[in-house]
Amino acid sequence: MDILSDLWLGAQTAFSVWNLLYCLLGVFLGTAIGVLPGLGPTATIAMLLPVTFGLPPETALIMLAGIFYGAQYGGSTTAILVNLPGESSSVVTALDGYQMARNGQAGTALATAAIGSFAAGTVATVLIAFFAPALSAVALTFGPHEYFSLMVLGLVASIVLASGSLLHAVGMVLFGLILGLIGTDINSGEMRFTFGRFELADGISFVIVAMGVFGLGEILSNLENEQGRSVTLSKVTGLMPTRADLKRMVAPVTRGTLIGSVLGILPGGGAMLASFAAYALEKKSSKTPERFGKGAIEGVAAPEAANNAGAQTSFIPMLTLGIPSNPVMALMIGALIMQGIQPGPSVIEEQPVLFWGLIVSMWVGNLMLLVLNLPLIGLWVKMISIPYGFLFPAIVAFCAIGVYSLNNATFDIWLMAGFGFAGYLLRKLDCEPAPLLLGFVLGPMLEEHLRRSMLVSRGDATTFFTRPISAILLLLAVLLIVSILAPAVRQKREEAFTDED
């Protein structure tokens, strides 16, 4: 009965007029961002963080969450229609979705993506409602030792699951940890790594780093490598799949939902990894694998279900443990901190309106995506043809205004510009910036729990290995490191990195 009363509380929150409007705004913006290649939910949420200052915490998170899972849907639209994935997680959808469009089945492919996303989102929302409180209850038993070990595991997992060079991923995490140390030491009160700049006494704002690395860095990269966009379809028909199509969707959607729900929880996993895994499973288990890549409906249903489920279950570790499983969840934690809420297992107990309102809003948002986006396909197709030269000045101006509004200081704008240039250089050096953001968010918390642990144990570092939960978490981190250092796994990773180049 408790779960029903909690969901009723969430429904009262999610169905309030303002929260419905902001949820609608979030999924609309998310879809638009997903349609436009080169922006993405990470950069968009980073740019919109200053806007959320004046909103209630639950309203802010509902809108930001809508942007995230709305972008997963929007990316599939252009992947299917013009073979140009708006999101990295939609790359797999383009393999069969675009071929279906060329075969005159664009409507069926879009409907498959919509139905698969809605079904997966509904199941993932139920999983969050049932499993997140239980996980949070377990996490409440954690002390500083367990939290330190958990964050070490999260950082190691983000290194293991990051794409590209292993050495680059380690470097990015360490860079993020160092940036997180800038500011005033919480124990001694001394300023450190500030180079005498008083503006850095409180550390570097999360918004500045996120906007610079992901916003401006993405813009500079896109200006150098802007892709041509050619829209070949002006009208889409046949949006209602046949009974035979629906029958062929059921099993792939089910398997994709399960894969996405599991992989979404893993640090560094999420939507992209889930969509690739779901597609590989469908192709391997199919009796006719030769159909894949030529317009197989299973090749659209499975990855779309997986990426939407992965996007939503990635909220579980963020809400219950305060651990971000991907860069967007790191931004969500930043939004909570800016609202004065400490992420972690106490959120469910101390902020039930926020937690349950967000969960119910996910189902509402997925329903909005299903109802709104198919009729708006014509609008999304027109948006693809907007020249990037008209988009980027507005984005830069919005970033500058948002950062200036933090402290009314021009120093913050210059700092953001510096991080933007750094983000561009990182992309040129094939360094994925996502681990940097995770290290930056977890760094201060990692240091805090480490110092607390050492104070409690009077400087005895072996206490991390004598406490059972802490020892298990550290053992898992070691096993992950050993697995990635295995010759076969290392060779395969390097081959994949070479192929990307």
The confidence score (pLDDT) of residue 232 equals 47
- Tallying the residues shown for the chain, one arrives at 501
Provide mean pLDDT across the span 102-112.
Answer: 81
Is pLDDT at 412 greater than 70 in this prediction?
yes
Residues 248-290: pLDDT tens digits? 888 899 998 988 888 777 655 556 667 777 888 888 888 888 8
The confidence score (pLDDT) of residue 236 equals 60
The larger pLDDT score, comparing residue 412 to residue 325, is at 412
CA 99/CA 295 separation, integer angstroms = 5
> Looking at the 3D structure of the chain, how many domains does it have?
1
Are the CB atoms for 358 and 62 separated by under 8 Å? Answer: yes
The confidence score (pLDDT) of residue 24 equals 92
CA 182/CA 280 separation, integer angstroms = 43
CA 258/CA 251 separation, integer angstroms = 11
CA 210/CA 47 separation, integer angstroms = 8
Q: Which long-range contacts (CB under 8 A, 24 or more apart) does 165-168 make?
A: 165/430, 165/431, 165/494, 165/497, 166/484, 166/490, 166/493, 168/429, 168/430, 168/431, 168/432
The confidence score (pLDDT) of residue 168 equals 84
Nearest of 373, 394, 205 to residue 304 by alpha carbon = 373
Alpha helices in 83-236 (DSSP H): 91-102, 106-139, 144-161, 166-181, 206-210, 217-224
Q: In the numeric block, which tokens belong to residue 332?
A: 């969500």
Residues 211-241: pLDDT tens digits? 788 778 877 877 776 554 444 454 565 567 7
- DSSP category for residue 424: H
Q: In the numeric block, which tokens belong to residue 328?
A: 């967007």
Return the number of other C-beta atoms located less than 10 Å from residue 18's C-beta: 12
Average confidence score pLDDT of the chain? 79
Domain span at residue 338?
2-500
pLDDT category, 23, cuts 50, 70, 90?
Answer: very high
Q: Which long-range contacts (CB under 8 A, 24 or more apart) does 414-418 make?
A: 415/204, 415/208, 415/212, 416/208, 416/211, 416/212, 416/216, 417/212, 417/216, 418/212
Nearest of 44, 65, 60, 150 to residue 442 by alpha carbon = 150
The confidence score (pLDDT) of residue 18 equals 92
CA 101/CA 286 separation, integer angstroms = 22
Provide mean pLDDT across the span 163-171.
Answer: 78
